[in-house]
Chains A and B, each alone.
Chain A
Amino acid sequence: MKNDMKQIKHHLTEPLLMGYAAGTLPEAFNVVVATHVSMCDDCRAALAEYEAVGGEVMLETDPVAIAEDALTATMAMIDAEKNTVTAAPKRKPSNIFPAPLQDYVSGDIDALKWRKVGGGVSQLVLKTSKDASVRLLRIPAGTAVPDHGHRGTELTLVLQGAFTDDDDRFGVGDVEVANEDLNHTPVAEVGVDCICLAATDAPLRFNSFLPRIAQRFVGI
Chain B
Amino acid sequence: MLTETNAPAKAGVSAAIAAAAKPDEQRPVKAGKRVVTGDITSKRMAWVVQIYAVRDNKDRAAFAELFAYFAPRVKSFLMKSGASPDLAEECAQEVMATLWNKAHQFDPTKASVSTWIFTIARNRKIDILRKQRRPEPEDLPWGPEPEPDQAEAIGLQQETEQLGQALATLPEAQRKLIERAYFGELSHSEIAAETGLPLGTIKSRIRLALDRLRHAMK
Q: Which residues of A are in contact with B by a Cβ distance under 8 Å?
A: 1, 13-16, 18-19, 21-25, 27, 29-31, 33-35, 37-38, 41-42, 44-49, 51-67, 70-71, 73-75, 77-78, 81, 85, 91, 93, 98-101, 103-104, 128-129, 152-153, 179
Contact status of A56 and B138, CB under 8 A, knowing A22-B181, A22-B184: no
Asked if A24 and B164 make an inter-chain contact with CB atoms under 8 angstroms apart, the answer reads no
CA distance A98 to B136 in the complex (A): 10
Q: Which residues of A contact B174 (CB under 8 A)?
A: none
Q: Does B71 contact A (CB under 8 A)?
A: yes
Q: Give chain B nearest CB distance to A182 CB in angstroms.
A: 14
- With CB as the reference atom, state the residue of chain B lying closest to A56: B164
Q: Which residues of A contact B96 (CB under 8 A)?
A: 74
Contact of A15 among B132, B168, B191 (CB under 8 A): B191
Q: Which residues of B contact A38 (CB under 8 A)?
A: 137-138
Contact of A78 among B100, B119, B133 (CB under 8 A): B100
Asked if A81 and B72 make an inter-chain contact with CB atoms under 8 angstroms apart, the answer reads no
Most buried by B among A46, A66, A101, A153: A66
Q: Give chain A nearest CB distance to B165 CB in angstroms.
A: 9
User: In chain B, residues 92-134, which have Cβ atoms closer than 8 Å to a Cβ of chain A?
Assistant: 92-94, 96-97, 100-102, 110-112, 114-119, 121-123, 125-126, 130-134
Asked if A64 and B191 make an inter-chain contact with CB atoms under 8 angstroms apart, the answer reads no
Given contacts A100-B135, A129-B131, 18 further A-B contacts (CB under 8 A): A1-B138, A22-B182, A24-B181, A25-B188, A35-B135, A41-B214, A53-B178, A54-B115, A54-B122, A54-B182, A55-B112, A55-B118, A55-B119, A58-B74, A66-B71, A91-B138, A104-B135, A129-B130
Contact of A23 among B63, B122, B131, B203 (CB under 8 A): B122
Contact status of A61 and B73, CB under 8 A, knowing A23-B125, A153-B188: yes
CA distance A8 to B122 in the complex (A): 28
CA distance A53 to B187 in the complex (A): 17
Q: Which residues of A contact B199 (CB under 8 A)?
A: 49, 53
CA distance A73 to B112 in the complex (A): 26
Q: Which residues of A contact B85 (CB under 8 A)?
A: 64
CA distance A54 to B122 in the complex (A): 9
Number of residue pairs A-B, CB distance < 8 angstroms: 220
Q: Which residues of B are in contact with A by a Cβ distance under 8 Å?
A: 60, 63-64, 67-68, 71-77, 79-80, 85, 88-89, 92-94, 96-97, 100-102, 110-112, 114-119, 121-123, 125-126, 130-139, 160, 163-164, 167-168, 178-179, 181-184, 186-189, 191-195, 197, 199-200, 202-204, 206-207, 210-211, 214
Q: Give chain B nearest CB distance to A93 CB in angstroms.
A: 7
- With CB as the reference atom, state the residue of chain A lying closest to B160: A52
Contact of B133 among A19, A27, A71 (CB under 8 A): A27
Asked if A21 and B193 make an inter-chain contact with CB atoms under 8 angstroms apart, the answer reads no
Asked if A99 and B202 make an inter-chain contact with CB atoms under 8 angstroms apart, the answer reads no
Contact status of A53 and B191, CB under 8 A, knowing A27-B133, A61-B77, A100-B137: no
Q: Which residues of B contact A85 (CB under 8 A)?
A: 101-102
What are the 10 tightest A-B residue pairs by CB atom distance, in nearest-first order?
A63-B72, A55-B114, A15-B191, A38-B138, A55-B118, A55-B115, A99-B138, A45-B206, A56-B164, A19-B188
Q: Which residues of B contact A24 (CB under 8 A)?
A: 181-182, 184, 186-188
CA distance A13 to B183 in the complex (A): 19
